[in-house]
Every structure is written in structure tokens, then in C-alpha cells.
Amino acid sequence: MNIMGSAAILCLSAASSLPAQDSARDWASLVGQRFRAERDVVYRTAPGGIDLKLDLYIPYDKKPGPTIVYIHGGGWQTGSKEQYVLWYLPYLQLGYRVAAVQYRLSGVAPAPAAIEDCRCAFRWIARNGVRYGIDPARLVLTGGSAGGHLVLMTAMLDDSFDAACNDPSPAPKARAVINYYGATDLAEMLSQNRANIARWFRAPGDALALARRLSPLTWVRPGVPPVLTLHGDADATIPLSHATRLHEALTKAGVANQLVTIPGGAHGRHTWTDTDTLRVQRTIEQFLKTHGTLNDPTQ
């Protein structure tokens, strides 16, 4: 099952009160009645005159509420903010708004451009989101694979990457992160001569030192947002060790975090048993309740 299917399990309990034969139709109708899409909102103009954009899925009434900030994967070289649009639906049904982020891919600009873009997008959402129905104090970052890496970096970094954003305001803080099989040690991957990593780190300079600086493991420290990681134990693209090392480091630093391992799960292609589905569903929902504002009484 791919990342879209992984998150779509959230709809199982959300729609459970509807008749089985009508649940998907009525669930989609409910989302359509409450939310609208505002596409291609420019959040920054990168060097070379490149307009970088967000897609916002927001309530008609624009009442500020919790928001999922989605960053797509694709090995830092492919993918788009529209790629997993159906993946957003369960979160909308649960009452979240969604902001989907475009960033410069490796063919357009080398590292750390994508991270700078994601940080600038996150800052823009926090600064401008209220007029779209986004509560800047209740932002949850999520993404898979390279997107998992980027959401971790967006949540963990200090403002040393933010000069390009031209934003003097204090850096926002995510309420939580949901990391689907994200890379956490880019130096290790670069040393393995991974083609996609080498392409992203093609700029002149010490690529290995930069890869260490751009690895989430480097930025683990007390006070970073809570992290829920979901990772398959048969992932040959980003091995489970990336997740286990992150889990151990966060735990040692006193950061609230959970690791859910999917038995037999390959990279973005999880085969779920009923038990797996229920376990992951309940874990995500509880994580959002505890850290990400699901069923927040102030919503």
C-alpha cells in the first residue's frame, strides 16, 4: 500500500457511523460541502524568478483550525504537491485544513534548496494562514520518503536556514510530525553512492559535511516537536535503521515520539493485515489527539 493508502485508513473510523455501501460517497460529499481548494498560492519567489506555490484545502467559513502541512516525496527529484491529493481527504474529514507544498527539485536546484523552500513555506503558512482558516499554533507536518526527511528538517531546524525567507518574525513551531519512512541519515546514503542523493548534493563543496548537516539525526535535541514514524521492516530504499536510530535519539533527548513498524512493509508499498490496519489507525488518531489537536475542544 502506498503513502496515500497508509493515511487513508484514517477514514475508517471517521466514516464508521455511515452505512457501509454509502460511506465513501457520503464521506466525500461531506468534505466537498465543508472545504474548498485554493490552488497555486505563491509563498516565495526563488532565485531565477521561480514562483513556488502552495495548494490550500480550507473551510468555506475560514474559521481558524488545525492544519496538516504536507510535503511530497520522490527522492528529492520527482513528485508534486498534487500527486497525492486523495491522501488529504481523511484529514479534511477529521476537520483539518491541508497546505500542500511545492519545492525546488534536485534538477532545478541542489541541496539545500528544497529544505530552504519548505522552511519558507512553513513560515508563510504560519504568518498568513489565519486569513485562510489556518491556526498557526496548530500545525502538523507530514510527508513520506524524501517528504518525510523534509518534514523532519522543517520541524527540527533552527532559523539558520531561514535567511532566504526574508521573514524577521520568530520561527513557528510545529505541534507534531507524522513521518512516513523518511530518510534520517543522508551522509550514510551519500556514502552508498545513491544516484538521487548524489544529484541533489552536486553543488561545489564538501558534500559529505553538507549531508550530515541536512540529516534529521544531526538536529535531534530537547524541545523539538513530537514525532510519529511509520516504517516497513522490509524497506530496501530507506532501511528501517533510519527510523530506529531516530526513535532512539529522540527518546534519549526526551522528545515524545513513537515508532510503528509495519511487518513486511517495503518502501511505500505496505501490505496491511486487519491487525496492522487497526493498530496504525488507532496510533495515528491517538497521536493527533495527544499532540496534533484532533478533537481539540477549542476547535
Prediction pTM value: 0.90
Sheet holding 65-71, edge to edge: 35-46, 50-59, 97-101, 65-71, 134-144, 176-180, 227-232, 257-262
Question: 147 near 181, Cβ under 8 Å?
Answer: no
Q: What are the residues facing 266 on neighbouring strands?
A: 269
User: CA 228 to CA 133: how far, in whole Å?
Assistant: 25
pLDDT on residue 230: 94
User: CA 108 to CA 114: how far, in whole Å?
Assistant: 10
Q: 188-214, pLDDT tens digit by residue? A: 999 998 889 999 999 889 999 999 999
Query: What number of CA atoms fall less than 13 Å from residue 88's CA on the CB side?
Result: 29
Helix axes 113-128, 146-156, angle to 10 degrees: 60
Q: Walk me through the domains of the chain, giving residue ranges and CATH numbers.
A: 3-14+27-292 (3.40.50.1820)
Instruction: Average the pLDDT over 97-119 and give the result.
Output: 97
The DSSP bridge pattern shows strands 97-101 and 50-59 to be antiparallel
